[in-house]
Each structure stands twice: as structure tokens, then as C-alpha cells.
């Protein structure tokens, strides 16, 4: 089964909710609304379409709260596609029931989330010589997503990473260096905004 998850609050629902629901349903996927304050209309639509609503609790204060909300929902064999915003086009070639599948980007990876300046220099050099992935759309299964979130928790616990920032692209790319068998390319090369 393929699930598509994205974060909605009241404003995002008003802008993209109905279109996102139609798109997910037209692909035959199950929608997962990561709830950061959605209106009753969104709840009614989710019930009607048999989509899931998962509350997002503030743990990290960033996009990692959304990851922490849906990753525990993943069952072995399922594929979960995460869209950073509901306006991102859903891509079948990102679906994976195992490792993380991401698009490649030509943009440099921002290392400003690292706590120490010498670590920023070190990792900027390390990431400059490799193919970089974007965290705008990520697909994966139980093992890939749980490993990715666990890796982030490790970076925060060891104080290598400042938990107050996003740093999802940095963590994804660092994860791909340390665990190259758990990240693969899918989709087109993108000129994503930093």
C-alpha cells in the first residue's frame, strides 16, 4: 500500500487541501494529513476519503516534528511518500517499500544547522564531492524511514546538530554518505530552491 503524507494547517488546507486530496485519490494512494491545526472541513474530507489524520506534536520545532508523527505509523511492506508541502507534485518513481528514494538536486547542501563551525567546514567539503538529494519529496518504507529518523535523533543527541533548525537536506545527504545502501535516486534532477 502506498501512503502520501504532508503537513496541513488551516492556511495550507485552504490553499491546497481539496486539490491535494483529489490528486492523492486519483493515484489510488491513501492520504495522510499531518495535522497542525486543520479545520473541521479537512477532517470531514479525510473521513469521506478514508484518509488518515495524524496529529503533529511539537518535539523538535521543525519539519522533524512531521517525520516523528508519521514514521511510527509505517508498517513493513508499506511505502510512504512525504511531500514537504502539499503543492509538490506526487511522483510514482519515489515510492519505495524499503530504502529512501529521493530526487537529486544540483543545489549545494546547507550545513548551517551544524552546531560547530569546524564541523560546518568539514561536512561542506564532504558534501561538495557527491551527488546531493533534495528533501522536498522522499519515499521509503519501514526500514528506511526509521533509520533516517534514528540517525537524526543521534545527531541531535550527540549535539552535532542544532535541533532548532530544519536541516532535513543536510541530514538526508549525510545519511546517504554513512548508509549508501539506504538511499537511492528517483525522479528528475531538480533546481530546487534552497
**Res. 190: pLDDT tops 50:** no
Predicted local confidence at residue 188, as pLDDT:
54
Residue 167 banded pLDDT, cuts 50, 70, 90: confident
**Res. 137: pLDDT tops 80:** yes
Looking at domain 2-185, does it have CATH number 3.40.50.2300? no
Residue 126 banded pLDDT, cuts 50, 70, 90: confident
**Which of 6-15, 101-110, 122-131 is the most confident on average?**
6-15
Predicted local confidence at residue 187, as pLDDT:
67
Q: Rounded to the nearest 5 degrees, what angle is found at the Cα of 122, between the Cα atoms of 120 and 128?
A: 95
> What is the model's pTM?
0.89
**18-27, 121-130, 140-149: range with lowest mean pLDDT:** 121-130
**Scanning the structure block, which residue is given the C-alpha cell 515510492?**
95
**Cα(36)–Cα(66) distance, integer angstroms:** 9
Q: Are 116 and 82 in contact (CB under 8 A)?
A: no
Q: Where are the domains of the chain?
A: 2-185
Amino acid at each position: 500500500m502506498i501512503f502520501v503524507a504532508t503537513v496541513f494547517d488551516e492556511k495550507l488546507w485552504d490553499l491546497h487541501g481539496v486539490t491535494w486530496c483529489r490528486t492523492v485519490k486519483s493515484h489510488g494512494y491513501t492520504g495522510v494529513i499531518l495535522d497542525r491545526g486543520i479545520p473541521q472541513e479537512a477532517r470531514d474530507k479525510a473521513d469521506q476519503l478514508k484518509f488518515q489524520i495524524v496529529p503533529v506534536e511539537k518535539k523538535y520545532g521543525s519539519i522533524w516534528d512531521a517525520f516523528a508523527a508519521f514514521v511510527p505509523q509505517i508498517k513493513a511492506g508499506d511505502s510512504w511518500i512525504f511531500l514537504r508541502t502539499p503543492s509538490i507534485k506526487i511522483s510514482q518513481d519515489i515510492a519505495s517499500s524499503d530504502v529512501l528514494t529521493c530526487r537529486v538536486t544540483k543545489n549545494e547542501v546547507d550545513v548551517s544547522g551544524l552546531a560547530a563551525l569546524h564541523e560546518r567546514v568539514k561536512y561542506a567539503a564532504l558534501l561538495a564531492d557527491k551527488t546531493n538529494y533534495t528533501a522536498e519529496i522522499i519515499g521509503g518504507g519501514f526500514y528506511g524511514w526509521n533509520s533516517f529518523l534514528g540517525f537524526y535523533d543521534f545527531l541531535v543527541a550527540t549535539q552535532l546538530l542544532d535541533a532548532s533548525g530544519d536541516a532535513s537536506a543536510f541530514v538526508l545527504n549525510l545519511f546517504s554518505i554513512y548508509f549508501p545502501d539506504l538511499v537511492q535516486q528517483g525522479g528528475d534532477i531538480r533546481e530546487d530552491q534552497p
